[in-house]
Structure 1
Amino acid sequence: MAERSVEYATFSIERTYPAAVERVYAAWADPARKAEWFACHADYSMDFRVGGREFSRGGEPGGPVYTTEIRFQDIVPGERIVYTYDVLRDEARMSVSVVTVLFEQDGGGTRMTFNEQGVFLDGHDNAAQREHGTRMGLERLDALMGGGVPVH
């Protein structure tokens, strides 16, 4: 039997954008807008509503297939998105997470706070790798929003 392990971790990433809250929120809520920065696989779909699902699957030719399935748990338009998701590499579950994304007016722009609470399973993934991947995705959002500024 394979060795089993569990790693728990939480990380937060904050950005400020020179864009209205409605525009930053729409980049998460509108399927076409989110696909511009989030979807890194050809097999992608999103049903943005409480109880709705976001799904992506893909990988390099000949390599492992990664599947991510999100379930939207709470949505307050323009303020908050809470979702749970899991990631599989082929058939191996790598992680299960809860994410909260907050949107707040910050002067003439928006402060966005991304918080992930993850359970990383059996050594398939870890918090450092997940945070790195999340930051890479948010860099694409930064470009879409006209440049995001990390909040320290």
Structure 2
Amino acid sequence: MTGGLTGQRLAAWRAYIESSQRLLTLLGDELRDRCGLSLADYHVMLLLSEAPQRRLRMGELANRLVFSPSRLTYQVATMERRDLVRRESCPQDRRGSHAVLTDHGLASLRAAAPGHLAAVQHHFLDHLDDTDITQLEQVFTALDTRLSPTDNATPAGKRT
């Protein structure tokens, strides 16, 4: 059942999977309770807020979120209904479209950010020392680099 993983390697894998799922669930529940936003909503709005003119091509946004195109289409549609984002056709390529952060979406992100970042600090960062943070950043940046498509490789630390 462990596929050849034993000892410390199996323990490390299990600790990563179980703790990351607990952390993401806790952060997502708190964000939803406080602001009515999902972690996916927050991440979409964060990436769009950092983009020029608060817009990204749907394909690029899907790649950065590690979403399938259909999952992103669904996510953006739910956010459009709440006026957090809108879709606009690309003037250079009529087949493509942009996701654009609305003024309401930017205001929602700004309202949610302090509480969400405080929760990240409390549930995650407060329990790590500087050495732990450095090691995590190095491990996950290296992993992200190996797993990212070569034409879209962006260090994980540059995204969130």
**Structure possessing the higher radius of gyration over alpha carbons:** 2
TM-score (norm 2): 0.28
Instruction: Report which structure shows greater RCO (CA 8 Å, sep ≥6).
Output: 1
Q: Decide which structure has greater strand share.
A: 1
Q: Decide which structure has greater helix share.
A: 2
TM-score (norm 1): 0.29
